[in-house]
Chain A
Amino acid sequence: MISRRSIWSEGKLIPVLSIIGFIVIIWYGFSIVLNAPWEYDKAKRSSITLSNVELISNTWSQKRPKLPAPHQITNEIWDTTVNKKVTSKRSLVYHGLITFYETIYGFIFGTCLGILLAIGIVYNRATAMSVMPWIITSQTIPILAIAPMIVVALGSAGFNGLMPIAIISMYLSFFPVVVGMVKGLKSPDQLEIDQMKTWSASKFQVLHKLRAPRSMPFFFTSLKLGMAASLVGAIVGELPSGGGGGLGFRMLSGSTFGNTLHIWSGLISAAVLAGTLIAIIGGIQKVVLKRMSLEM
């Protein structure tokens, strides 16, 4: 049995919940403060005096609040997922699916590219010396910032729809995979590689039977990072794509029309999407590593 004391001094659930609760309370407070001027203004124009209770309930139910209260956002999400048809452009599921596909395509391409580059770097010193510095430099270029331009350029070259955005996601997600896999493929020590040599294993066999299995823990960690990066790439890539759709598009249109509820619901669903995808990878990681008896 868990005693009362140990709940407070160990474990994460209670601290996490209490901090989230604290954030929600602060959030409600701020939405009063930030939305109140508009209410005062409105009351002044129609010359009514607001009681405090009225003021507070009004600030929590504005149509275009500066900071929507948490329940407004949950209502909005509920309304646009459950009460709207999935195929409708007003449905959050529709936009979420578009973003999901872009993320997954970019993630798969990026992972493949990353693994190939990592194998090249581990097996060929010339590749390692000439390409590795550029891979690192490539990430100091704020590619996200130029993502819109890539979308426009590829669009004018005849690539439309998912592909340009998937390419941006790929560019962002290959980097963690390369770095992680190089570390992982290099993790067997010299002794083990020598052992493979005494068995006269070919280069491919060393990769297949020693290096690849040994890199699995690194592989999954980089997959999680790559997935997060890929989703960010998809969202930013959607910004200039105009009528395309997707969570990023919804946030941009919310920002242009001052519809804060759209921005917040888009933001929250992006976070939920990221959390789900990362949790799925985490689940696969647990199963695979357990089967390989490589538990962390």
Chain B
Amino acid sequence: MIYFWAAIIFWILAWIVNVWISRQKENRFFNIAPPVLFGMSILFIWESCVVTFNVSPVILPPPSAIYMKFMSSIPILWEDFVQTAIKGALSGYIIGCVAAFIVSLIADRFNFLERGLLPIGNFLAAMPIIGIAPILVMWYGYGWQSKAAVVAVMVFFPILVNTVQGLKMSDKIHRDLMQTYNASYFQTMIKLRLSTAMPFIFNGLKICTTLALIGAIVAEFFGSPIRGMGFRISTEAPRFALDMVWAEITVAAMAGSLFYGGVVLLEKWTTFWHPSQRGKI
């Protein structure tokens, strides 16, 4: 019981500190501290609840047990990470993004195609595309290729919709200016329209980072070689080895955040001129 009250008191203290911080002037430390304190209090409450109320590890293992399992099975986790995140998700993400980019350039060139593709793309972007996973696994076999295919299809439509929208964002007056410079189609494309489209393209790229990981992991539920995050989760969960499952979740969360963070960094590096990026470090 002591644990439980200690965690509750920690939570209240952390909250008071956060309220105090929120009244201070903004600075870098004060922006990072509240979420860290909040996260820590959740972990403490989790741990103490599991200990005090004797929650069976079959339902919810405590964070400490997950940490131990994580540390003791790094080689397996690394192997799964390479199989799912690098081979499956990343290669599929790249294929899907490049394909969507090329198609959106073509759609942008031909108005007829754009008017036809955009409604279909918008419709399909809201669909449960993940459902094609069993079909693609059947076609491409159990290896990472089928996972890459699922990911490529999943990321295709959000990127397509965003890129086509972004390409429309350049002002008429700017395009006219390019014309007075006697710029060719490709010059206008590269120097004006792609630049103005960048924030939109990155919006799509960011949405798709999570989609890519989800696609790769879920596709493994329909069949995979004996490694991979989805495989591990689907075989360990029925055996009630939930600490291993949560270790995989930790890996997935870290991979997801890294992936997302990577795209954000790339965005800051390439679109530093955009108002939404200015003034940030």
Contacts and interface: CB of A to CB of B under 8 A. Distances in A.
Nearest to B124: A271
B46 to A, nearest CB: 13
Contact of A255 (B21, B137, B242, B245): B137
B4 interface: no
Interface stretch (A81-89, A205-213, A259-267): A259-267
B238 A152 contact: yes
Contact of A149 (B15, B22, B222, B245): B245
A271 B214 contact: no
A140 B210 contact: yes
Interface in B120-142: 120, 123, 126-128, 130-132, 134-135, 137-139
Given A130-B34, A140-B209, A145-B252, A16 B116 contact: yes
Interface of B: 15, 18-19, 21-23, 31, 34-35, 37-39, 58-60, 111-120, 123, 126-128, 130-132, 134-135, 137-139, 209-210, 213-214, 217-218, 221-222, 229-230, 233-234, 237-238, 240, 242, 245, 248-249, 252-253, 256-257, 259-260
Tell me whether chain A's interface is mostly helix, strand or loop, or mixed. Answer: helix
Contacts of A251: 131, 134
B35 A130 contact: yes
11 contacts: A16-B116, A125-B22, A129-B21, A129-B31, A140-B210, A148-B233, A152-B237, A153-B59, A240-B237, A271-B128, A275-B123
A131 interface: yes
B127 to A, nearest CB: 5
B138 A149 contact: no
| Of listed B19, B115, B134, B233, residue having the most chain A CB within 10 A | B134
A282 to B, nearest CB: 11
Tell me whether chain B's interface is mostly helix, strand or loop, or mixed. Answer: helix
A130 B40 CA distance: 11
A248 B23 CA distance: 48
Interface residues of A, number: 62
Interface string A123-151: 00110111111100101111011101100
A18 interface: yes
Given A144-B214, A144-B217, 9 more contacts: A15-B114, A16-B116, A16-B119, A129-B35, A130-B37, A133-B35, A145-B252, A153-B59, A153-B242
A160 to B, nearest CB: 14
Contacts of A17: 116
Nearest to A239: B221
A224 B137 CA distance: 30
Contacts of A263: 131, 134-135
Nearest to A146: B249
B237 A236 contact: no
Contacts of B60: 153
A263 B222 CA distance: 12
